[in-house]
Structure 1
Amino acid sequence: MNDFERRKAKYQPVAQILRDVYGELTWHPGQSAMDELVSCILSQNTNDTNRDKAFAALKARYPDWQAVVDAPTDDLIETIRSAGLANQKAPRIQRALERIYRERGEYNIDFLNELPLDEARDWLISIDGVGPKTAAIVLCFAFNRPAFPVDTHVHRVGKRIGFLPENISAEKAHPFMEAIVPPEDHYAFHIYLIRHGRDTCRARNPMCARCPLKNYCDDYQSTINP
């Protein structure tokens, strides 16, 4: 068994344990793809609470995306200030919306669901301020496409368990996780790893003694139970 096969072999037992802990998860349509995209831009370098507060403020202040584009940038900055880095995010959102309208003639990116996955991902990443994580979130959450988002929790937990090599960047981890996790499980397993990262495998003071994954965790086996 080579190194990648060893990492991939962890998936089924780990997924089953997390499924037992957190319950079955099934994708359901949520936000529109446009909402997901803007929400993701707001989420960069902040937490979910601040993102949600800023997104709610944006939706309450502006009746549609054209109004966001037409708004003075300073006004948009104040509206989304709770998300942090508003001076960067406001013009980034406006430029993204302008690009979408210029290319599509409407504020709608549902056409991405009809494209091959790699083409859809490349189109999203070509938007200024959209990286692999944002693209994967839009594709996975809005369309249930087999894209695997890697955020800080997934990156940390993935490395500790041993799905990911220790020195891999979050950006390069996306295709790695997509190769390990079956396409139909991308949404659920992404959520499982986030929940596990928040509840147990925390960045500081991880609760290894109570972790249900310790028998499969490279970090636990090598540092705590060598």
Structure 2
Amino acid sequence: MGTIHPLEAQAYFERKYGFVEWVKRYSPMDELLFTVLSQNTTDLNSAKAFQNLINAFGTPEGIARQSVQSIANQIRVAGLGNIKSVRIKKILAEIKRQVGSYDISFLSDIGTENAKKWLRSLDGVGPKTAAVVLCFAFGMPVMAVDTHVYRVSKRLGWIDSKISVEKAHDELESIIAPENRYQLHVYLITHGRKICKAIKPKCEECILVKKCPSSLIRS
């Protein structure tokens, strides 16, 4: 069975889940902090940890003044608190060193590829974190790949089953048009959570069942 083209899949998803419109989530700096906290945890836990940080310290400047231990105490709910607190301190220090402040809004003026490279140069910021910040804070046409996007894309045959999640970002961008990346990112996450689950996918309920090369249902 052949695979379905991303644009065709998007049309199916839109009929199933409705049209997705881009909405800015946080300021660029807050989005970066939130996304670092979201690494290897759930959205609910990362949201709690982020709110704890803001409630306790107020701003990136306030967070930067704290000790690693003080930050770790506020973000334990997100897991890996001792690691993420060090990461946050290093990121804030490097941004202050390079920019002179904690404002990264300048990324909107240097182009998508340069913005990616700049973010990825920060210790603790990989392809996913960079893509999420650029997508949700700036509305840039990048493809953020989380566990759901990664799994569903492999099952649909859009990326090789053995490709790393890091390399999947560039691979998916090579086959998905810029104007479709945000919508497909959201749709693939939604579909992965509701239907194309890691264990026991609900192929019998999938709108792509007849076009998916990994379908467990054969006609």
Query: Structure 2 length as normaliser, TM-score?
Result: 0.96
Pair 1:33 & 2:46 matched = no
Aligned to 1:225: 218
Pair 1:197 & 2:183 matched = no
Partners of 2:131 and 2:142 within 8 A in 1: yes
Report the 3-state secondary structure (helix = DSSP H, G, I; strand = E; otherwise coil) of the residue aligned with 1:127.
coil
Partners of 1:14 and 1:216 within 8 A in 2: no
Deviation at 1:67, TM superposition (A): 1.5
Aligned to 2:99: 104
Aligned to 1:126: 121
Please give the alpha-carbon distance, in whole angstroms, between the structure 2 residues aligned to 1:168 and 1:13. 23
Aligned residues: 218
Partners of 2:204 and 2:217 within 8 A in 1: no
After superposition, what is the alpha-carbon deviation per residue over 1:74-109, rounded to whole angstroms, capped at 9, x for unaligned?
A: 111110000000000001001101111111111111
Aligned to 1:79: 74
Give the partner amino acid of 2:213: D
Higher mean C-alpha displacement, 114-123 vs 83-92? 114-123
The 5-angstrom pairing of residues 1-226 of structure 1 reads 10-220=5-215, 223-225=216-218
Please give the alpha-carbon distance, in whole angstroms, between the structure 1 residues aligned to 2:125 and 2:7. 31
Please give the alpha-carbon distance, in whole angstroms, between the structure 2 residues aligned to 1:225 and 1:167. 24
Please give the alpha-carbon distance, in whole angstroms, between the structure 1 residues aligned to 2:183 and 2:26. 17
Structure 1 stretches of 4+ with a deviation exceeding 6 A read: none
Partners of 2:49 and 2:77 within 8 A in 1: yes
Deviation at 1:182, TM superposition (A): 1.4
Deviation at 1:12, TM superposition (A): 2.1
**Identical columns (%):** 42
After superposition, what is the alpha-carbon deviation per residue over 1:150-176, rounded to whole angstroms, capped at 9, x for unaligned?
A: 110000000001111111111111011
Give the partner amino acid of 1:127: L
Partners of 2:72 and 2:82 within 8 A in 1: yes
Give the partner amino acid of 1:88: I
Please give the alpha-carbon distance, in whole angstroms, between the structure 2 residues aligned to 1:80 and 1:167. 33
User: How large is the RMSD of aligned CA atoms in angstroms?
Assistant: 1.3
In structure 2, the gaps of 5 or more residues are: none
Please give the alpha-carbon distance, in whole angstroms, between the structure 2 residues aligned to 1:190 and 1:207. 20
Partners of 2:209 and 2:217 within 8 A in 1: no
Please give the alpha-carbon distance, in whole angstroms, between the structure 1 residues aligned to 2:123 and 2:211. 39
Report the 3-state secondary structure (helix = DSSP H, G, I; strand = E; otherwise coil) of the residue aligned with 1:214.
coil
Please give the alpha-carbon distance, in whole angstroms, between the structure 2 residues aligned to 1:59 and 1:199. 31
Report the 3-state secondary structure (helix = DSSP H, G, I; strand = E; otherwise coil) of the residue aligned with 1:162.
coil
After superposition, what is the alpha-carbon deviation per residue over 1:122-146, rounded to whole angstroms, capped at 9, x for unaligned?
A: 1100100000000011111111111
